[in-house]
Amino acid sequence: MVSHLPLAGRTALITGVSREQGIGYAVASRLAQMGASLFLAHYVPHDRDQPWGADSIDGVVRGVRAQLAGGARLADVSINLADAGAAEQLIDQAGSALGHLDILICNHARSGGDGPLRDLTAEKLDAHWAVNTRSTLLATRAFAAQHDGRAGGRVIWITSGQVDGGVMEDEIAYATSKAALAGITPSVSAGLARRGILLNTVNPGPVNTGYLDPATADRSPEILEEVLSRFPAGRYGEPEDPARLIAWLVSDEGRWMVGQVLSSDGGFR
């Protein structure tokens, strides 16, 4: 065990770690370098249906494992968080593999199958709610139930750019599911804090995980240019940008941040 590392001796469960260009992979890499043991959750069938496609999970896991500090452990599972009992199952499997969980990072999300209000259906709303909101809340509940009150309890949720006044008129089901997480953060965090668990929610803004590359984008070149024009720095977000904030929040340095909805978006407006 490399005891001087900030997360040595702690275990983090990170969802949505399925692609090397993803936020989940960037977060897992950073936490591995900080000494944490990791349980990674992924679901390749979702990525296969997207324009940017899926990576080899063996390669993704191997890449994270190579960054582990001495004494740290890693396990992973493929799980469809759209299933009603999947969130609790995930926490149980992670605990069985690695023991007590100190950190939960809910990075997973359903993408695609959405549209503007005129195309909205009950099925679209339910599909995004089940993955993005319901599973996040239920995983958080199960995580809290297994937490024994030791120092370092952390939960991170991921929301969308609406919190900064962003407009997502062509992604109503997705934006609704993410807005629910941002809106309920203060209420959930209050109860968790009394149990020694600190919850914060991060808005990463538009991060190029493949959907902003012209060759694999799920939107027109005109929209890509419009999005880029709204970054003062003249570049899209990169996965490492929100990963730095998340890593700080789950470390002891972030112990006074509670119930916040934080934007790490490079000033995107």
Amino acid at 67: Q
Beta carbons within 8 Å of 49's beta carbon, 6+ residues apart: 112
Q: How far apart are CA 112 and CA 94, in angstroms?
A: 28
112 SS3 class: coil
Distances (CA, A) of 180 to 156, 186, 187, 215, 242: 14, 11, 12, 32, 20
| DSSP3 helix / strand / coil % (the chain, rounded to 5) | 45, 15, 45
**H or E segment to which residue 228 belongs:** helix 221-229
Residue type, 225: E
Q: Which of 25, 43, 174, 211 is catalytic?
A: 174
Q: Is 260 exposed, middle or buried (0-12, 13-18, 19+ CB in 10 A)?
A: middle
Q: Is 211 a catalytic residue?
A: no
Alpha carbon distance 40, 15 (integer Å)? 6
Catalytic residues: 174
